[in-house]
Amino acid sequence: MKNKEKTTKKPEFIRKFLVSLKRNPQFIPGALLVISFLVYSLNLTKVSNTLTMVQGKMMGFCEFVTMLLSILVFVCFMNSYPKRQRPNIGFIILTYVMLAIIVVCDVSFRNGIYTAVTKAENKIVINDATMYIMESYNMLFLHIIFIIVTAVLNATMPVYGKLLKKINTSIDVDGNEDMATIEISED
């Protein structure tokens, strides 16, 4: 008896998740936005240590702007899709602008690292003590990829939203097929 209960709970959880996803397809780019924020914020110590070591032009400003907009983009994204209302186009545009600025700042920070590591004079050598520079360089590339994928998923939401709505999440209840048609018309 317990095995039957366990097997029915898992598909029920998946069905409920799919129903929720059908109603709110913006959950997919929102979840990726959270992941990209976590990737950047959990590696912020490495980025700050890299900034201290490299001290490139505008790198501190880029780090500040990326962290600030990574937080503010949540507010804009959540206001872009209010419950039971049409999407707010102004907030969607603002979300894309913030995502573009984050990508530009990440690319600028990566270019500063690349310049400091490859320049001829006063070149920064990567060794065991300064490995965090390469780790932050690689993490910024990953962050850029997550931001771009988030923007693409947000842009293609109407397409996969329609595909999600085609998934059958109804429950077949035993005995429903024998029920007579209920008439609502007045006599």
93, part of any domain? yes
5, part of any domain? no
State the pLDDT at residue 90. Answer: 93
129, part of any domain? yes
CA distance linking residue 187 with residue 182, whole number of Å: 14
Rounded to two decimals, what is the model's pTM? 0.80
Q: What is the mean pLDDT of each run of 10 residues along the chain (187 residues)?
A: 53 79 86 94 92 87 94 93 87 95 95 87 81 92 96 90 77 61 64
12, part of any domain? no
122, part of any domain? yes
State the pLDDT at residue 182. Answer: 62
The residue range of the domain holding 60 is: 40-152
State the pLDDT at residue 11. Answer: 77
Neighbour-count burial for 115-131, b at 16+ CB within 10 Å, e otherwise: ebbeeeeeebeeeeebe
55, part of any domain? yes
Q: How many domains does the chain have?
A: 1
CA distance linking residue 107 with residue 109, whole number of Å: 5
9, part of any domain? no
State the pLDDT at residue 34. Answer: 94
176, part of any domain? no
Helix axes 131-155, 89-118, angle to 10 degrees: 160
State the pLDDT at residue 22. Answer: 80
Who contacts 56 (Cβ-Cβ below 8 Å, separation ≥6)? 109, 112, 113, 115, 116
CA torsion 48-53-55-59 (nearest 10°) is: -30
